[in-house]
Amino acid sequence: MVVPESQEKMYYPPVELQRNAHVPDFNSYLVMYKKSLENPEAFWREVADEFFWKKPATGPMLQHNFDMTKGNIFVNCMEGAKTNMCYNVLDRHVKEGKLGEKVAYYWEGNSPDHHMTITYRQLLSHVCRCANVLKQMGVKRGDRVSIYLPMIPELIVTMLACARIGAVHSIVFAGFSSESLCERIMDAQSSVLVTADGVYRGEKLINLKQISDEALEKCREKGSSGVTTCLVIKHQAQRTRTGTSCNKLQTPWESERDVWWDEVMRDSPDECEPEWMDAEDPLFILYTSGSTGKPKGVVHTVAGYLLYTSLTFRYVFDHHPDDVYWCTADIGWITGHSYITYGPLANGATSVLFEGLPVHPHVGRFWEIIEKYKVTKFYTAPTAIRLLMKYGQEPLRKYDLSSLRILGTVGEPINPEAWRWYHEVVGQGRCPVVDTFWQTETGGHVLTPLPAATPLKPGSATFPFFGVEPAILNEHGEELEGVTEGYLVFRKPWPGIMRTIYKNQELFENTYFRKFPGFYVTGDGCRRDKDGYYWITGRIDDMLNVSGHLMSTAEVEAALMLHQSVSEAAVVSRPHKVKGECLYCFVTLKDSKEFNCKLVEDLKRLVREKIGPIATPDFIQNAPALPKTRSGKIMRRILRQIARNEKDLGDLSTLADPKVVEVLFNQRSEAA
């Protein structure tokens, strides 16, 4: 058993949970972990055995090269095997597992009056009809389909329909701007865009079709005629609270291109033979921020992603057939892909699919939903926990949360205060908190506790999942042993790791493998304590994490630079009570006298329009000059300290002009 560091309170798994758990104690974890590293072939073959393979693998479970000096970087899982993701997560349960009548999703709308239940059989039928619709539109195996939808059942139907016919889905979070959507459609060269008329987010109506039209118009201006069909779901017009919003929402229409979903779905046959895909065929592309500012299309493939999301879901949430699981993420992010759609469905789980916000129409909405559906496993983000903490315990007392068994968090480091509140107030001291560290690129959890096995320390993602071998390196690439801190890297692949960046293998290799040959580099800093626990310390590249959403300083800077008054911009993070980090921007103006409230508002709007509301800066400061090295590199470390008002700046000898710093400190108070 692990010996806790002195003064640190450890949280041990509850005995009731251990009695019936997949991994019932820490020793079992260690034994299985050892097996997964010593004999990955046997370990992953056993996992693969429960799924359906049209053709068995002819190659090994995992092959790879992580060393650029030895040739191209690659990962290959189950070469020669043929299968279909959709078949495995739906048909298999309906046909072989007798789960046809089991609820796949309880959909809960933005308004508490809107909800519906979808069984596995119903989901399969909708998916087949949608698959036939896509085929009818000319979508073939390997073609890309962009999806810009809110959290409605049709989103899951569309992604699975793509998987069924071998099309590659590219989901764009429906909070992104038309500019961001355009960029992602162009990069993926999609031929179809699936969207909805509109959606209420809290009280606010968002006209998704109009944003989609703007995006497609921008694509056209940039010379792409890619999207030939836009499939539009009548969401708001059909499921509105008042029934009148269709008047408010004048859906723009281009009859050559636009098609209403319900019109084509109505007559579409509900049987569709799955396309038998190669194990390494792409399943989807999902864009994540790149440090250069251009989003990277992370590619995940069929077989490995199936094995990994399925296994992590089962073990990390200790899934059992009678569970009701709820992950509050949006499917527009990887968390939703892996732990709302694929992982839970692969396990035949029942999930809640929630369209709304944590505080609409009241601050107890999450707790109300947990009571309503008797949720047993609940997975959310630290930013949501910190937001809800602000309202105290009162909103929770009104609801019965006794169904909860396991709590999870993801997206950013969780501060121990929020962890304890989650554990004590939400989980009533009864539910382990699994702090899952992973990335869009990793496909699934890589550092995580197992709820019945791992003694917890608040703020630590604890230990590696099966098959995952972490290491901590120093700047020179030397591996550090024992108690230490440095770059978090992984020595070997697991089945769910990304395969490439879409159409850019070179960027893939340079981003993740160039710095330390032989390792996958996460971009995160990490500490290991004397009990071997891993603690993520945050990004060590030019990335920011706002409310669990990763963005690059470069993309925000590029947006600010579009303003004609701005000659230079530098963006850093500053701690924020709810969001974790927020954006603090320094702008150098062509004429610094132009700095005023209106300019600040214009700049904030510009960033919102270019990237989306999540990237809205909290502070913009006038910077007559930026602190630079003699070679002209902006010293972000100093800007971060100015943003945080930390006066002790340490060594400034590399600065070209130290006076710049003083000026920036003096002008801090004018930041808005």
Residue 539 lies near ligand WT7 (rule: CB under 6 A): yes
Residue with Cβ nearer ligand WT7 (115 or 549): 549
Element (DSSP H or E) covering residue 352: strand 350-354
Residue 44 lies near ligand WT7 (rule: CB under 6 A): no
Residue with Cβ nearer ligand WT7 (229 or 460): 460
Residue 190 lies near ligand WT7 (rule: CB under 6 A): no
Residue with Cβ nearer ligand WT7 (446 or 661): 446
Q: Could you tell me which stretch among 124-132, 409-417, 471-479, 615-623 binds ligand WT7 (CB under 6 A)? A: 409-417
Residue with Cβ nearer ligand WT7 (48 or 334): 334
Beta bridge mates, 64: 75
Please list every residue from 548 through 607 that binds ligand WT7, using CB under 6 A: 548, 550
* Separation between Cα atoms, residue 303 and residue 51, nearest integer Å: 10
The bridge status of strand 566-576 relative to strand 580-589 is antiparallel
Give the count of residues interacting with ligand WT7 (CB under 6 A): 23
Per residue in 446-463, is it b (16+ CB within 10 Å) or e — as a string?
Answer: bbbbbbbbbbbbbbbbbb
Nearest distance from residue 672's CB to ligand WT7, in Å?
28
Nearest distance from residue 411's CB to ligand WT7, in Å?
5
- With beta carbons less than 8 A apart as the criterion, state whether 172 and 181 touch: yes
Please list every residue from 285 through 304 that binds ligand WT7, using CB under 6 A: 288
Residue with Cβ nearer ligand WT7 (144 or 445): 445
Nearest distance from residue 334's CB to ligand WT7, in Å?
5
Nearest distance from residue 522's CB to ligand WT7, in Å?
6
Nearest distance from residue 515's CB to ligand WT7, in Å?
15
Residue 328 lies near ligand WT7 (rule: CB under 6 A): no
- With beta carbons less than 8 A apart as the criterion, state whether 620 and 600 touch: yes
Element (DSSP H or E) covering residue 230: strand 229-233
DSSP 395-408: HHHTS--TT--EEE
Grouping H, G, I as helix, E, B as strand and the rest as coil, residue 422 is helix
* Separation between Cα atoms, residue 364 and residue 421, nearest integer Å: 15
The bridge status of strand 406-409 relative to strand 103-108 is unpaired
> Would you give the DSSP letter of residue 592?
G
Residue with Cβ nearer ligand WT7 (299 or 600): 299
Question: Which residue from 91, 143, 412, 581 is in contact with ligand WT7, where contact means CB under 6 A?
Answer: 412
Question: Which residue from 53, 421, 438, 494 is in contact with ligand WT7, where contact means CB under 6 A?
Answer: 438
Q: Could you tell me which stretch among 332-340, 364-372, 505-513, 645-653 binds ligand WT7 (CB under 6 A)? A: 332-340
Q: Could you tell me which stretch among 193-201, 260-268, 272-280, 331-339 binds ligand WT7 (CB under 6 A)? A: 331-339
Residue with Cβ nearer ligand WT7 (486 or 627): 486
Contacts of residue 71, Cβ cutoff 8 Å, sequence gap at least 6: 65
Beta bridge mates, 622: 587
Nearest distance from residue 536's CB to ligand WT7, in Å?
4
DSSP 468-493: --EEEE-TTSPBPPSSEEEEEEESS-
Element (DSSP H or E) covering residue 599: helix 597-610
Strands (E), 56-178: 63-65, 74-76, 82-83, 103-108, 115-119, 144-148, 168-171
Nearest distance from residue 385's CB to ligand WT7, in Å?
12
Residue with Cβ nearer ligand WT7 (137 or 540): 540
Residue with Cβ nearer ligand WT7 (258 or 524): 524
Question: Which residue from 62, 188, 227, 461 is in contact with ligand WT7, where contact means CB under 6 A?
Answer: 461
Residue 335 lies near ligand WT7 (rule: CB under 6 A): yes
Residue 437 lies near ligand WT7 (rule: CB under 6 A): yes
Grouping H, G, I as helix, E, B as strand and the rest as coil, residue 490 is strand
Question: Which residue from 410, 556, 642, 671 is in contact with ligand WT7, where contact means CB under 6 A?
Answer: 410
Question: Which residue from 76, 180, 436, 547 is in contact with ligand WT7, where contact means CB under 6 A?
Answer: 436
Nearest distance from residue 660's CB to ligand WT7, in Å?
30
Residue with Cβ nearer ligand WT7 (316 or 334): 334
Nearest distance from residue 289's CB to ligand WT7, in Å?
7
What separation in angstroms does the CA of 165 have from each of 81, 86, 132, 277? 17, 9, 9, 9
Interaction pattern, residues 496-535, with ligand WT7; x per rule: CB under 6 A: --------------------------xxx-----------
Q: What share of the chain is helix, strand, coil (3-state, %, to 5)?
A: 35, 25, 45
Residue with Cβ nearer ligand WT7 (172 or 661): 172
Question: Which residue from 134, 536, 566, 626 is in contact with ligand WT7, where contact means CB under 6 A?
Answer: 536
- With beta carbons less than 8 A apart as the criterion, state whether 353 and 327 touch: no
Question: Which residue from 170, 191, 545, 573 is in contact with ligand WT7, where contact means CB under 6 A?
Answer: 545
Alpha-carbon dihedral angle through residues 424, 429, 432, 438, given to the nearest 10 degrees: 0
* Separation between Cα atoms, residue 533 and residue 460, nearest integer Å: 7
CB atoms within 10 A of CB 269: 10
Q: How far is CA 333 from the centre of its chain?
A: 3
Nearest distance from residue 437's CB to ligand WT7, in Å?
4
* Separation between Cα atoms, residue 314 and residue 452, nearest integer Å: 12
DSSP 622-662: E-SS--BBTT--B-HHHHHHHHTT-------TTBS-THHHH
* Separation between Cα atoms, residue 352 and residue 109, nearest integer Å: 11
Residue with Cβ nearer ligand WT7 (418 or 589): 418
Question: Which residue from 439, 484, 504, 510 is in contact with ligand WT7, where contact means CB under 6 A?
Answer: 439
Nearest residue relative to ligand WT7 (C-beta): 440
Interface positions with ligand WT7 (CB under 6 A)? 288, 333-335, 410-413, 435-440, 461, 522-524, 536, 539, 545, 548, 550
